[in-house]
Amino acid sequence: MKNDKKLFNTFSGVFVPATEAILGAVLFLLLPGLVAEMGLLRSILIILLSHTVTLSTAVSLSNCVTNLNVVGGGGMYAISRRSLGKAFSASIGIQLYIAQSVSIAFYSIGFIEPLQPILEKIIIYKQIFGHFDILTQKQIISSVLLFIFFIIALFGADFIVKLQMIILVILGVSVICVFTSLFFPSLFLINGENVFTGLINLNGLDISKLTFWSAFLIFFPAVTGIDAGVGMSGDLKNPQRSIVRGTFIAISLTMLIYLAITVVYSLISPKLLLQSDGTYRSAVDLLNVMPFSIFVLLGVLFATSSSGLSYFMTAPRTAFALTHDNILPNYLRFLGNDFKKGGKEPRFAATLTFFIALGIIWIGNLAFVSMIVGICFLVVYGWINFSAFLEKISKNPSFRPTFKGNAFISLYGYFICIVLISLYDVFIGLGVLAIQIIIFLLVLKYKTQNKLEGVWWGVFFSIVNYLLKKLKIIVQGTKNWRPIVIIFKRYDKNLPYDQVVELGEMIAQNQGMVALNLINIDNHSKNNNQSLESSLQDYKYNIPAHVIEMPKEEFRDVVLSIVQSSNVSGLQANSVLLKYSDQIKIDWADLIDNILSYNKNILLLKAGITTENAQYIDLYWFGRENGNLMALLAIVIFNAYKSNTSYHHLELRVIRKLAHSEDFEQSTLEMNELINRIRLPGKILIIPPDEKSFTDTVLELSNNAKLIIMGLPGTLKKEGIVSIFKPSRQMFEEQIKIFHNMPPVLYVKAASILNLVDND
C-alpha cells in the first residue's frame, strides 16, 4: 500500500506490535501450568527451541527485505512476492490473510477467558447472560469485543499505534509484578499453602501425561507474533531498517522475558499450579493479592487485546496488497479502497476481516481452527525461510542484501517449520499444502499466463548450469544420442506456426533440445523490432523461439554464422533443421554443403499436404550411413505422434526399394535383423526391383503418408581414398518439384555415421 506520508518508526511500527503479539495470553495463562508439568529445564528448552524458528525466520526476512529498494504494503506477503514471484507468493499471501483474520478471533476469545469468571459474580451480568451456557457467553462477549476492535481499526493505524503505546506500559507493569512477587513470597496463599516453595521445580511432575512435543505445540503460538510488526511494512518510514531492527529486538527481549518468568514459575509449587479438574491456574489466580492480581489481570486483558488490534492492522493491509497486485478475483477489488475517496486506510478490507473473525468466533470448535491457523503461519514462515535459502544458493547477482545471513540458518528455519507442521497434524498439514497448490495453480493460470517469476529462474539456471558442466565430462554412449537441433525458417507474421515448428516441438517433446530461429528478411526499421517481438509472443511455442532481424537477403550468411557460433551452455547443436522455401533465393545445395562441413546433421523439411486419414510415417532406407540417423528421428517423431490420441492409428513403415543386383530374400533377412537389433517400432516393406524410378515409387506408395523421411539427394565424389557426399542441386530441385503435391518430406543427411547399437 502506498501512503503519501510514512507514519511509523522502528519502535512504534515494528517493535511495539510484535512485542505485544508475542507477550500474549500464553505468558500469563498457559506458561505457569506448562512449567509445572515440564519443569524448569524442559521449559527453557521449549522456549529456546521455539525462538530458533522465529530467529531463523527473522534472519531470512532480513536477507530478503534488505535486498529490496521498495518493500510496499503486505508484510511477509510483500517480501515473499519479490523472491517467489506473483503466483507462488499469492498462495502464501491468501493463507497469511486468513490466518491473520482468524487470529483476531482467538485473541478476542483469549481476552474473555480470565474475565468471564469475574463477570459471573456481577448480578446484572448474571441476569442478562446467566441463562446461556459458558461457551455462548464467551462467544457473545467476544463478539462485542471484536466489534470494538473493528471500530478502533476504522480510526486508522495511527490511532491504534498510540493506543498500543499505553498498552505496552500496562503490559510492562504486569511483567514487573510477576518478577517482584518473588520478594513477597509469604503474601501469596492458595488453600492456606504458600504459592512459592523456595525450591526449583527442575523436572516437572512425575504424574504428568503431557509429552515434551505436546507442551511445545501449546507454547509455540506465543512466539509467532513477529508477523504483527512485519505486517506494517507499507506504513514505515524506513521499512528495510525498521523491520530488521524491530523484529530482532522484539524477539530478543521477549525471549529473555519468557526465560526469566519461567524461572519465577518454577519456584511455585507445581501441585498448586494444577487445579483439581486438570486445568492450569493462571498467573491471575496465583498472584491473588492486590495490587499484583489487578495488574496481572490487566496485563492479560491488554496483551490479548493488543494482539487482536495488531492483526486488525496487518490483516487488512495484506488483503489490500493482494488486491493491488491483481491477485484476488475482480469482484473483490473493492478491498483495495477506503470508505472515503482518496483515503489510504484499507477500511473495506477491515470490514471483511471483521466478518471472517466473527464467523470463527461462532464456529465453536476453536481448538481445531486454532491448529489450522498455527499450520498456516508455519507454512508462511517456512516459505519465507526457503525463499531466502533459494536466493542464497542461486547466487543471483541482483541478490545483494545489506544483512548477511547464512543460507543454512534459513534452511534450518524451513525444515523446523515442516517438522512442526507434522507434529501438529500431518494430514491437516497436507490439506493446507494442497490448498496452497490449488491457489498457486489458479493464480498461475488466470493471473500470470502460466509464467513463473522470482527466484525460480535463478534456481533452475544454477541447477541446469551445474548439470551442463557435468555433461562435459561424461562420454555420450552410442545408445544415448540426443537430437540438439537449431531450426531456421523464414518469419511470416501471418503464419508464425507451421509444419517445421510442429516437427521441432515433437523432437523436443521426446528428449531433444530445440531452438527456433525465425528469420525476418523484410525491411524493418529499428522502431518495429519491439512490435515484431510482441507479435511473436502472441503465439505460444513449446520450444524457445525468437526473431532474427535481417535488413537484406542474407539468409545463407545468417544461418552459417549462427551454426558456427559458440554455445554458452557447452552443448553444441548436432543437427540443423531448415524449412525449404522457394521464396528464399539462395543456393540450397551450397548452404547444405557448408553446414555438413561443420559436422552438423542436416534435416530439410519440404512442407506438404496431409489428409485426415493419413496412415503412415514412411522411412525410405538406403543403408546405415544415413539410415541410422533417419531411424532414430523416425522413432522420436513416431512416439510423439502416438502420444496424441488423434494419431493412435498411425504406423511406421521402413521401405527399401531394391536394385536389380540385390536379392529379395537376403535383403528381407538383413532388414528384419536390423529392425530387431534397433527395436524399431515399425514394419518392413521390401520393394522388388522394377522399371519404376525411385520418385515414382514414392509417389505411388506414400501419397497417403503423414510424413515421408528419406535421404537428401546427392552424389558421392572421390577425393583420394575418401568418398565425400555432395548435395546435387539439380537432383534436389527436380525432386522438390515432383513432390510438390505430396505429404511433408523430411530430407536427412547425417554428418557422420551414428551408431544405433553398441557393437555397430
Q: Is the model's pLDDT at 64 over the cut of 80?
A: yes
**pLDDT value of position 207:** 67
The DSSP H or E segment spanning 73 is: none
Question: Percent of the chain at pLDDT above 90?
Answer: 14
**pLDDT value of position 260:** 94
**pLDDT value of position 91:** 86
Report which of residues 117 and 380 the model is more confident about: 380
Phi, psi dihedrals of residue 593, rounded to the nearest 5°: -60, -40
Alpha-carbon torsion angle 732, 738, 743, 749, nearest 10 = -20
374-391: average pLDDT: 86
* DSSP-H helix ranges across 113-182: 116-119, 123-129, 134-154, 157-180
553-557: average pLDDT: 75
Cβ–Cβ < 8 Å for 37, 208: yes
**pLDDT value of position 544:** 78
**pLDDT value of position 412:** 94
Q: Residues 262-297, buried b or exposed e (16+ Cβ, 10 A)?
A: bebbbbbbbebbbeeeeebbbbbbbbbeeebbebbb
**pLDDT value of position 525:** 46
| 597, burial (CB in 10 Å: exposed 0-12, middle 13-18, buried 19+) | exposed
| Polymer length in residues for the chain | 760
Q: In three state form, how does the secondary structure of 11-70 look?
A: HHHHHHHHHHHHCCHHHHHHHHHHHHHHHHHHHHHHHHHHHHHHHHHHHHHHHHHCCCCC
457-472: average pLDDT: 76
252 Cβ partners below 8 Å, 6+ apart?
none
Q: Residue 627 CB: number of other CB atoms within 10 A?
A: 26
* Cα angle, residue 367 at apex, residues 362 and 371 outer, rounded to 5°: 115
169-173: average pLDDT: 90
Local structure of residue 448 (DSSP, 8 states)? S
Local structure of residue 238 (DSSP, 8 states)? S
The three cell numbers locating residue 115 = 474475565
Please give the Cα distance from 598 to 337 (Å, whole number): 63
Q: How far apart are the two ends of the chain, measured CA to CA in Å?
A: 68
Cβ–Cβ < 8 Å for 104, 146: yes
DSSP track, 606-661 = E-----TT--EEEEE---HHHHHHHHHHHHHHHHHHHTSGGGTT-EEEEEEEPPTT
**Nearest CA-CA partner of 107 in 254, 298, 293, 303:** 303
**pLDDT value of position 54:** 92
The three cell numbers locating residue 267 = 519456584
Alpha-carbon torsion angle 592, 594, 599, 603, nearest 10 = -10
78-102: average pLDDT: 85
Cβ–Cβ < 8 Å for 675, 584: no
Phi, psi dihedrals of residue 140, rounded to the nearest 5°: -65, -50
Cβ–Cβ < 8 Å for 517, 487: yes
Report which of residues 566 and 300 the model is more confident about: 300
Q: Is the model's pLDDT at 528 over the cut of 60?
A: no
674-681: average pLDDT: 76
Per DSSP bridges, beta strands 705-711 and 601-606 are unpaired
Q: Is the model's pLDDT at 644 over the cut of 90?
A: no
Q: Does the CA dihedral 77-82-88-90 come out positive or negative?
A: positive
**pLDDT value of position 4:** 47
3 state SS of 203: coil
The three cell numbers locating residue 521 = 528478411
571-595: average pLDDT: 85
Cβ–Cβ < 8 Å for 211, 232: no
Please give the Cα distance from 445 to 86 (Å, whole number): 11
Residue carrying C-alpha cell 510424413: 707
Q: Is the model's pLDDT at 396 over the cut of 80?
A: no
**pLDDT value of position 414:** 92
Structure confidence at residue 41 as a pLDDT band (50, 70, 90): very high
DSSP track, 575-606 = EEEEE--TTS-S-HHHHHHHHHHTT-EEEEEE
**pLDDT value of position 364:** 66
452-464: average pLDDT: 75
**pLDDT value of position 1:** 44
Please give the Cα distance from 223 to 51 (Å, whole number): 7
* DSSP-H helix ranges across 653-709: 664-678, 694-701
Mean pLDDT of all residues in the chain? 82
Please give the Cα distance from 571 to 568 (Å, whole number): 8
Please give the Cα distance from 452 to 593 (Å, whole number): 42
Q: Is the model's pLDDT at 468 over the cut of 80?
A: no
507-531: average pLDDT: 68
**Nearest CA-CA partner of 258 in 318, 184, 175:** 175
103 Cβ partners below 8 Å, 6+ apart?
307, 308, 311, 315, 373
Most confident of 123-137, 270-284, 321-335, 557-571: 321-335
**pLDDT value of position 510:** 67
**pLDDT value of position 216:** 87
Cβ–Cβ < 8 Å for 115, 301: yes
Q: Is the model's pLDDT at 354 over the cut of 90?
A: yes
Q: What pLDDT, in 10s, does the model give residues 222-232?
A: 888 888 888 88
The three cell numbers locating residue 326 = 491483481
**pLDDT value of position 2:** 45
